[in-house]
Structure 1
Amino acid sequence: MLTLIAITTIILYLFVIGMLIYGFDNVTDFKLQDLPAKTKFSIVIPFRNEAQNLSKLLDSIVKLNYPQHLFEVILINDASEDDSVSIIENYLLTLSKRQNVKHIDLKIIENRSTTSSPKKEAITSAIKVSKFNWIVTTDADCVLPTYWLDTFDEFIQINNPNCMVAPVTYHSKTSFFNRFQSLDFLSLQGATMGGFGIKKPFMCNGANFAYRKSEFISVNGFIGNDTIASGDDVFLLEKFLKRNPKKVSYLKSNNAIVTTNAAQNMNHLIQQRLRWASKTSQLTQWFAKIIGLTVLLGNFTTLVFIPAVLMQYISLKIALALFVIKFSIDFLLLFKTVRFFKQENLLLSYLFSSVIYPAFSVYIAFLSFFKSYHWKGRTSKK
């Protein structure tokens, strides 16, 4: 009986990940065509206690190739307890004294949170005072690529979307802990692209997300999920998809890749993954829930192979065969994803990561049912 369940689960897993691989290949790489810039953007960046990251973010904003009169930057201070604000102010003051450096239309506003979802409030506050119709969100620990806005602009000119999801990856580091996280994160990026490729988008990342302000207003912004601390990206994506799915696109371009920080230690990683898991039960898309459940079952099945073999509930040959099937299909999706992100060196850690990942994944899923999470000095519930 256990053998039949294991075989059925892995076959279902193979089918689901195979669909995402097919979808990944269906999303066309977008190439810049050197069109004259037209679109005006409001870049929205909430921050809380990001003193150590803000300088790199601001450096990358200064280096953006896009015409300065076509974008503004709104930084929202979400009750920072460090010197984040003074770092920004000092940076701008120093910048103003340097010659041959372009002026940045940048302002800092304060977020006065009154709900359990301060980040959504921060974004909403910024959108209310934004000057332009296109909103682009990112995070304060990110580094933006030089042609980031150019790529958004040309995609808008050619495809006329209402919403764009774009790629994110971690800054490359040499430790196994970082490579493990990067492989996990890139698997999510690959699945995100795959969902778009089969016309079933179900994920996005607020570190690289763009939409029309008019659409945000039309779907009533975050109203309806503003009591949930996380999910400022996926819940909004769901609303855009319900309103007009044909106007929601994935921007698959190396010129649009935003890089961000991996977790610094194991506790930070667990809290981060709990934060991500906290919004899963609130998703309304059946496809997203099927994907999540299938992946969880696939990892759980892999995890029980060893005790099942030892207790002779399943033969060693069948267990190894099923593990190789899961290992191979996961590798194929990851291979395509790391090749797009030009991070092929991460695959050197894939074998060991694939052995320990099922235990980590199942642990986080189990923990998320019972435990709240801590993030940036706050405790939040699901």
Structure 2
Amino acid sequence: MIYVVLFITVIYLIFIGLFIWGYDKVNTFHLHDIEPKTTFTVVIPFRNEANHLPALLQSIKALAYPKHLFDIIFVDDDSTDASVKIIEEYLNNCYNISIIKNKRISNAPKKDAITAAIKTSKHDWIITTDADCMVPKYWLNSFDASIQGTKSKCIVAPVKLLLEQTFLNQFQVLDMLSLQGATLGGFGIEKPFLCNGANLGYEKTLFYELQGFEGNTHIASGDDIFFLEKALKHSPKKVNYLKCEQAVVTTHPEISWKSYIEQRIRWASKTRHYKNSFGKLTGLIVLLMNIVIPSLLILSMAGYLSFKPLLYLIIIKFSVDLCLIYQSALFFDQKDCLKSYFISFIIYPITSTYIAFSALFRPYKWKDRTFKI
């Protein structure tokens, strides 16, 4: 037993250590004043986002990129609230924003929405974000400068959660920071395996070359990860991470533990379909490590094992996880959430294990719809 635990711990340390090292290998991109050239279509699927759309629209209004070089397509996925009305009221003064209806052709409504928008898009590059996000002023400028400098075909960009003072919020922020740290670290060691559809860009021609989401439309989620896998297989040297402060998209946290759990189950449900072996192995090692800690605690309390190995394991995991999260917290300017790290560290192995096993056996709810695993 102890040798199995030791093996898992060593492998976990190696993986997280690689991400910490890889994080700094990705150079920070500093935005320079250059002439904008790239044309963009921003695709924003939405369903019942009336509470969040005003903030998104306000951030879109503040974009510094020349309006003739981009347009925005909102895709209505059968909203039943005032979402469409809110956008239509905003359209009066914006010639480069439009709304279309989603055309459902698969089990994946968001993939259908993105595909429908791309079919009507007029520009060279597609950037996706979500209706519960806020985009920074120089968002498109950052993408343009990166494209001109790197000749990328696909760009993964940073996402952070809006930081508030509740424990639930800070728990989610820490979780997101760890994911962003792993995303960046993966790119740094040239083993990318994560991205977020709230801030993802790619050439329209690449989308069609890869036949869009064909091959995974039976999976409700994963418009980002599965496309990334295809892009990496097709043009691995043309997929890059945009580590730029002016490119960070901010999204809202879940408002309850129930909605947070459902969101994470949705995210976890697609992992079994990953084709990236490194991503699968990383997920397995992280899961095993999170199972080991509560298991050792139970064995120690039952008298089958000394508390000393458990204490050593906790100290090791606590320290290495903190290093990765601290790097992300510095970049995203969210160090305030670290005050909740200790309690979050105790809770996380339990919640993540529950989410992982739930994703194997039960359906999840998303946007008032139920999806089978």
- Shorter-chain TM-score above 0.5: yes
Structure 1 match to 2:128: 137
Pair 1:52-2:51 in alignment: yes
Structure 2 match to 1:100: none
SS at match of 1:108: strand
TM-superposed deviation, 1:104: 4.5
Structure 1 match to 2:269: 278
Unmatched 5+ residue regions in structure 2? none
**Equivalent residue in structure 1 for 2:249, among 258, 270, 277:** 258
**Alpha-carbon distance between aligned partners in 2 of 1:357 and 1:172, rounded to the nearest angstrom:** 18
TM-superposed deviation, 1:92: 2.5
TM-score (norm 2): 0.98
Note if contact 2:45-2:76 (Cα within 8 Å) is conserved in structure 1. yes
Quick one: which amino acid aligns to residue 113 of structure 2?
Answer: A
**Alpha-carbon distance between aligned partners in 2 of 1:206 and 1:3, rounded to the nearest angstrom:** 40
Structure 1 match to 2:118: 127
Note if contact 1:46-1:76 (Cα within 8 Å) is conserved in structure 2. yes
**Alpha-carbon distance between aligned partners in 2 of 1:209 and 1:313, rounded to the nearest angstrom:** 49
**Alpha-carbon distance between aligned partners in 1 of 2:365 and 2:308, rounded to the nearest angstrom:** 43
SS at match of 1:312: coil
TM-superposed deviation, 1:325: 0.4
**Alpha-carbon distance between aligned partners in 2 of 1:55 and 1:104, rounded to the nearest angstrom:** 18
**Alpha-carbon distance between aligned partners in 2 of 1:349 and 1:135, rounded to the nearest angstrom:** 37
Structure 1 match to 2:173: 182
Alignment of 1:329-368 (within 5 A): 329-368=320-359
Note if contact 1:53-1:141 (Cα within 8 Å) is conserved in structure 2. yes
Structure 2 match to 1:99: none
Quick one: which amino acid aligns to residue 101 of structure 2?
Answer: E
Note if contact 1:55-1:91 (Cα within 8 Å) is conserved in structure 2. no
Note if contact 2:125-2:202 (Cα within 8 Å) is conserved in structure 1. yes
Structure 2 match to 1:372: 363
**Equivalent residue in structure 1 for 2:142, among 139, 146, 151:** 151
Structure 2 match to 1:89: 88
Note if contact 2:21-2:185 (Cα within 8 Å) is conserved in structure 1. yes
TM-superposed deviation, 1:313: 3.3
Question: Which is further off, 206-215 or 369-378?
Answer: 369-378
SS at match of 1:184: helix
SS at match of 2:169: helix
TM-superposed deviation, 1:246: 0.4
Structure 2 match to 1:323: 314
TM-superposed deviation, 1:36: 0.9
Structure 2 match to 1:72: 71
Quick one: which amino acid aligns to residue 90 of structure 1?
Answer: E
**Alpha-carbon distance between aligned partners in 1 of 2:228 and 2:74, rounded to the nearest angstrom:** 22
Structure 1 match to 2:19: 20
Alignment of 1:227-246 (within 5 A): 227-246=218-237
SS at match of 1:34: coil
TM-superposed deviation, 1:8: 1.4
TM-superposed deviation, 1:273: 0.6
Note if contact 1:42-1:135 (Cα within 8 Å) is conserved in structure 2. yes
SS at match of 2:63: coil
TM-score (norm 1): 0.96
Cα deviation digits, residues 31-88 of structure 1 (max 9, x gap): 0111111111000000001111111111100100101111000000011111211111
Identity %: 50
**Alpha-carbon distance between aligned partners in 2 of 1:116 and 1:5, rounded to the nearest angstrom:** 40
Note if contact 2:103-2:116 (Cα within 8 Å) is conserved in structure 1. no
Aligned length: 373
TM-superposed deviation, 1:232: 0.4
Structure 1 match to 2:164: 173
Cα deviation digits, residues 136-188 of structure 1 (max 9, x gap): 00000000000000000000011010000000011111000100011011100
TM-superposed deviation, 1:344: 0.5
Cα deviation digits, residues 229-256 of structure 1 (max 9, x gap): 0000000000000101000000001100
**Alpha-carbon distance between aligned partners in 2 of 1:114 and 1:70, rounded to the nearest angstrom:** 30
**Alpha-carbon distance between aligned partners in 1 of 2:302 and 2:85, rounded to the nearest angstrom:** 62
SS at match of 2:305: coil
**Alpha-carbon distance between aligned partners in 2 of 1:319 and 1:208, rounded to the nearest angstrom:** 39
Cα deviation digits, residues 106-149 of structure 1 (max 9, x gap): 11001121321111011001001101010000000000000000
